[in-house]
Amino acid sequence: MFDVVIAGARVLDPETGRDESLNVGIAGTAIAVLSASPLQGARVLEGSGLVLAPGFIDIHTHEDLQETPGRSFEMPRETAACALRTGNTTILGGNCGGSNYPVGKYLEAQNAEHLPINCLTLVGNSTLRKVLGLDEYATAGPSQIAAMKDLACAALDEGAQGISFGLQYAPGTSFAELLALCEAVREKDKFFAVHMRYDTPLRAVETVEEVISAALITGAALQISHYAANVYGHADGAAKNGGGNIDITARLIEESGADIRADVYPYDTWATGIRSAVFDQGFEDFNFNVTDLELLSGPLAGRYCTQELFDSLRHAPQETAVACHNAIPMKDIEAAYRLPFVCLGSDASMSLSADGHRKGHPRGAGSPARFLQEFVREKKILSLMEGIRKLTLIPARRLGLGRKGRLQEGMDADLCLFDPGTITDRAAYGMDVCALAPAGIRAVIVGGKVAYEGSDPADR
Ligand SMILES: [Zn+2]
C-alpha cells in the first residue's frame, strides 16, 4: 500500500529517456516503485492519457520583489502559489543581483512560512553592494571588494545556491569585482547567475564575452540569465529579426569549454522597473520604442507610455513596473531553445498589492505551460522529452539537486501530471489576469504530497 499512486500515466524520465505507460507508487517523500502491474494506494490519481514528468524547476524567479508590509523579509507567497499551479515544484529566487538578506535568517523565516513548493535563493551582488553602502553606479575599491567576497562566502555557507549579478542594473560593478565573487563561487562549488551588462544587438558579443571570461578565468560555473532578452538580432544591428547574435554567442559558449548554461523565458515581452538603469542609455539601439512600454503597476496600469509619461515616471518617487512589448524577436527565442545548454527560466515575480490585486508579468503564472504549448506542441521546436529535460533535469543539475529532475525509483517525489494535448497558458498582461492558472495541469505533487489539482472543468 503506497501513500499515493499515479495509475497508468505516460512516464517520461529525461535522464534515461524512458517513455512508457506505468504505475507509480510514492512512499513518504520518495518515488518508491515504477511498475507495469497495478499498485494499491491510499490515494490514487488516474493518469491514463496524461504525461507524468518530474516536477518543473524554475531556475530564474524574483522572490526578492515581493511586497509584504510589516515583515522584515519578503516572502514569495504569490510567486510560489502561481509557480505551483503551472507545475513547478522548486524555484530559485534572488536573481539579477537582488536578494533577501541575510540569507540564513531569510531561509529560517521562510521555513516557518510552509510555502507550497521548494523555494531556494541566490545571494545578490547588488544586495551585497548595498550592505557596504555602494550605490549602483559606484565602483568598489580593493578593500570593499574583499569585504564583499567575505559577505558572499558567508551567504553561501548560510545556504545561498550561488551569487547573482545584475550588471546592467549596477553598471558600477567592475570586472575585478565580478572575478572576486566568482572565486567565492568556485571555492564553495556553487554557481554564478548573470543578468548581463548590455542588451542591445551591437553589444551582444561583447557582453557574452565578459561573462565567459569570468567563468574561464575563475573556473566558476555560470548560468546566463534570460539569454535571449540580452542577446538577439544581428551583430551589425541591421537585421532586427535574425538569429545572428544567438548563433555567434552560442558558438563562443560551446567552444569555451567552460561550464555554462543559460535560461530563456517563452515570451517576447520583458518587464522591469521604469526607473532602472536599463533605460539610462535611451532607445536608439534597442529593438523597441517608448510606445511599446505598457505600465504594469500604479494608478495608470494598463496604459501605454508616451514620451511625456515616460519622462515623468522615470523621476517619480515610486517605481512603476513596465512591460516592453515586442522587444525580443521570436526567431531568437526559438533559436535559443534549440541549444542543448538552454533551459527554461521564467523571470517570474508575482505579488499582491495593498488592495488585494495580483501584479506581475504573466510569465509568473504560465511559463512552463506556454513553453509546452507553443514551443513543443504548436511549433514543434522541441520533442516532448527535450522540452521536459529543459524544465527539469538541466536546472536540477545546475543547482546540484541530485534527487530531483529524474523520474526514477528512490528520487524525490516531486511530480507534474499534465495533458500535453491541452496544456495552455491563460495568464495575460494586466492586474489579476496575470496570475491565471494554465489549463491542462492535472496534479502537482511536492515531496510526496498532492499539493495542487487543476480545478478547471475542461481539465477533468
Ligand atoms: Zn534580469
Domain boundary among 398, 421, 450: 398
Record the cell numbers describing residue 38, joined without a space: 497495478
Q: Which of 20-29, 68-77, 319-328, 387-396 has the lowest mean pLDDT?
A: 68-77
Distance 410 CA to ligand 1 centre (A): 35
Same-domain pairing of 266 and 151: yes
Distance 264 CA to ligand 1 centre (A): 11
Instruction: Determine, yes or no, domain membership for 403.
Output: no
The arithmetic mean of pLDDT across residues 334-355, rounded, is 92
Distance 13 CA to ligand 1 centre (A): 30
Which domain does 35 fall in, by range? 2-53+409-459
Query: Minimal CA–CA distance to 398: which of 60, 94, 109?
Result: 60
Q: Which of 57-61, 213-217, 243-247 has the lowest mean pLDDT?
A: 243-247
Record the cell numbers describing residue 91, joined without a space: 524555484
Instruction: Determine, yes or no, domain membership for 368.
Output: yes
Distance 421 CA to ligand 1 centre (A): 32
Instruction: Determine, yes or no, domain membership for 225.
Output: yes
User: How open is the CA angle 293-299-305, to the nearest 5 degrees?
Assistant: 20
Distance 336 CA to ligand 1 centre (A): 17
Distance 425 CA to ligand 1 centre (A): 22
Task: Look at the pTM and tell me if it is higher than 0.75.
Answer: yes
Instruction: Determine, yes or no, domain membership for 148.
Output: yes
pLDDT of residue 327: 84
Same-domain pairing of 60 and 139: yes
The arithmetic mean of pLDDT across residues 300-316, rounded, is 92
Instruction: Determine, yes or no, domain membership for 313.
Output: yes
Distance 164 CA to ligand 1 centre (A): 10
Same-domain pairing of 269 and 287: no
pLDDT of residue 64: 61
Same-domain pairing of 287 and 271: no
Same-domain pairing of 302 and 345: no
Query: Minimal CA–CA distance to 264: which of 387, 356, 396, 447?
Result: 387
Q: Which residues pair with 163 in a beta bridge?
A: 123, 192
Q: Hey, how many other C-beta atoms are within 10 angstroms of the C-beta on 460?
A: 8
Same-domain pairing of 340 and 291: no
Distance 59 CA to ligand 1 centre (A): 12
Distance 277 CA to ligand 1 centre (A): 12
Domain boundary among 357, 373, 398: 398
Same-domain pairing of 296 and 221: no
Instruction: Determine, yes or no, domain membership for 13.
Output: yes
Distance 355 CA to ligand 1 centre (A): 27
Instruction: Determine, yes or no, domain membership for 200.
Output: yes
Judge contact between 63 and 76, C-beta under 8 A. yes
Q: Which of 85-89, 268-272, 387-391, 436-440 has the lowest mean pLDDT?
A: 268-272
pLDDT of residue 71: 52
Domain boundary among 262, 297, 324: 324
Instruction: Determine, yes or no, domain membership for 404.
Output: no
Distance 323 CA to ligand 1 centre (A): 13
Same-domain pairing of 201 and 214: yes
Alpha-carbon Rg of the chain, whole angstroms?
A: 21
Distance 32 CA to ligand 1 centre (A): 39
pLDDT of residue 278: 83
Q: Which phi-psi region, left, alpha or beta, contains residue 248 (left: φ > 0; alpha: ψ -120 to 50)?
A: alpha
CATH code of the domain containing 269: 3.20.20.140
Say if residue 67's pLDDT is above 70: no
Distance 381 CA to ligand 1 centre (A): 25
Same-domain pairing of 6 and 63: no
Distance 136 CA to ligand 1 centre (A): 15
Q: Which of 219-228, 354-363, 431-440 has the lowest mean pLDDT?
A: 354-363
Distance 251 CA to ligand 1 centre (A): 23
Distance 247 CA to ligand 1 centre (A): 21
Distance 195 CA to ligand 1 centre (A): 5
Q: Which of 16-25, 181-190, 289-298, 335-344 has the lowest mean pLDDT?
A: 289-298
Record the cell numbers describing residue 220, joined without a space: 566558476
Distance 404 CA to ligand 1 centre (A): 25
Same-domain pairing of 181 and 152: yes
Confidence tier at 72 by pLDDT (50, 70, 90): low
CATH code of the domain containing 17: 2.30.40.10
Same-domain pairing of 155 and 35: no
Tally of domains in the chain: 3
Same-domain pairing of 380 and 314: no
